Structure 1
């Protein structure tokens, strides 16, 4: 699947995120971001929002899963800005995800 199709498929979820979570950053990473996914590939998303402040990890993920209104598998990684800034420098997996990511929010001009 190509990146354009993936981004279009995510538009309803992004709209719900904007209404409920007010994210400052949403990154798509993994095979869907690279453009080498297949129809059964999951979606890998990092979501940065201050709404997560004070929430336990599992509560953050549960909250986001309720907003995910698709049959596709998804890995949702919710961070506050401080957590994200720390992890993107200290953890290889997060740094790799950031380096290959497609930024969905805020929208970058093409």
Structure 2
């Protein structure tokens, strides 16, 4: 029982830090969603953290991964967690073309951060 409680505390700490980091590194108009097993509630201790990072800009540019996604990867390393951010513009995400990945994420996603 103690292990489960500790795991819940660690999960909440990761979520809180994702929100804080998003506020620090993402431009205005951005949204971060959690999807996959962590969002569905069927994750296990070694599950990764799937993040959808939507940027309010016309197109992704060279260096956007380093500026907006990679900080989440680094944060995950600090917690011993595998955080996998996937960045898109809002236009790309919502206006297609839509692959199966889109529908899977849309089914699970929950907002972690919105600016």
Q: TM-score, normalised by structure 2?
A: 0.71
- Secondary structure of the corresponding residue to residue 36 of structure 1: coil
* Pair 10,99 (structure 1): closer, same or farther in 2 beyond 3 Å: same
Q: Give the alignment of 1:52-67 within 5 angstroms.
A: 53-56=59-62, 59-63=63-67, 64-67=69-72
Partner of 2:37 in structure 1?
31
Post-superposition offset of 1:7: 4.8
**Which whole-Å CA distance do the structure 1 matches of 2:31 and 2:114 have between them?**
6
**Root-mean-square deviation over aligned CA pairs:** 2.8
User: Which residue in 1 is equivalent to 2:91?
Assistant: 82
Is 1:52–1:79's contact at 8 Å kept on the other side of the alignment?
no
**What SS class does the counterpart of residue 44 from structure 2 fall into?**
coil
- The answer as to 2:30 corresponding to 1:12 is no
Q: Which runs of 5+ in 2 are unaligned?
A: none
The structure that has the greater radius of gyration is 2
Aligned length: 103
Tell me the TM-score normalized by structure 1: 0.74
Contact 2:60 2:88 in 1 (8 A): no
Shift of residue 50, structure 1, vs aligned partner? 2.6
User: CA–CA distance in 1 between the matches of 2:76 and 2:58?
Assistant: 22
* Superposed CA offset, 1:34-76 (max 9, x none): 11111111000001113683413xx333332234412211221
